[in-house]
Chain A
Amino acid sequence: MADKSYKLFLVDDDEMVLTSLENHLKNHSQHRYELHKFPTGEAALEKMDIKPDIVILDYFLDSVDQNAKPGIEILKQMKQIDSNLPVVMLTKEDSIEIATETVRSGAYDYVIKNDTAYYKVQNNINNIVKAISLKHFVGLQKKYTWAVVISLVLMIVYITFFHGNLFPGAE
């Protein structure tokens, strides 16, 4: 799992935020990422077939393209495509209403863009990666548990049919 590369979508209409967040993740992360940067939510939605592991999504996305949908709408559409997709909302708006709205709409967390924002995003990513790793491990465990059970059943069937008795000493 240490070598797994996580697919990360960064969605922000500010090129400087995309560049600086990418730089922060490159310098501070313990994981490998395959980064995909988008200036609008629509552009990110078009690439959902890439199946991102994590999305970092800005709340306001209409500074360049005034018809661009707000982050909250993009969040809802992403959750319709993949209800388990962890989406961290990143915004300059320090508003309890927006925070509540985004979390109710399925956001993993709501991070306000300030001096510590990128560290908070990093923490969120680390927690999400841990959860993904754990899910993967439990999945593997389940798979191998079934493999062991099936092997035992086959062994019992083999011994019973070809040797006549599973417990010869008991006769």
Chain B
Amino acid sequence: MSEQENQATGGNGSGNSDTYTDLTYLREMANGDEEFVLKMVNTYLENTPQALDDLEVAAKEENMDRLRAIAHKMKQSIEFMGISSIKETATQIEHYAKEDENIDNLATMVEQVVDVSKKAMEELRRDISN
């Protein structure tokens, strides 16, 4: 499934188009330690709202250094939470911000990352409350 298709369906690229997140990688890393999984998910839920605000502000101000730094960090948390539908977009934001290229499309790409991340957070909150 392409990233564009994933965006349209909200899929995570794992074949399940109903979900945004996939904790398989994190669970493999945890090796059965659910406490660790929960700690990582909670850390993501605590830190991501600020990161998304910072990302939007940096895009609005066309602050390429900030945009590069925040997108770079987000790539790692996106991987941990298995939000594969925006993994490539975050990589592209970092690349374009670093190279000062494709600036016209950066706002749209940031919007995509913010939108999917918010949906992923909602999903994770639901998952951990069950």
Contacts and interface: CB of A to CB of B under 8 A. Distances in A.
Interface of A: 13-17, 19-20, 23-24, 27, 60, 62-64, 66, 92, 113, 115
Interface residues of B, number: 22
Given A19-B40, A20-B40, A66-B69, A113 B76 contact: yes
B24 to A, nearest CB: 12
Interface of B: 25, 29-31, 33, 36, 39-40, 43-44, 47, 51, 65-66, 69-70, 72-73, 75-77, 80
Given A92-B75, A113-B76, 15 more contacts: A14-B77, A15-B43, A16-B40, A16-B47, A17-B76, A19-B43, A23-B36, A60-B72, A62-B69, A63-B51, A63-B72, A63-B73, A66-B65, A92-B72, A115-B25
30 contacts: A14-B73, A14-B76, A15-B43, A16-B40, A16-B43, A16-B44, A16-B76, A16-B77, A16-B80, A19-B40, A20-B29, A20-B40, A20-B80, A23-B29, A23-B30, A23-B33, A23-B36, A24-B29, A27-B31, A27-B33, A60-B72, A62-B65, A63-B70, A63-B72, A63-B73, A64-B73, A66-B69, A92-B72, A92-B75, A113-B76
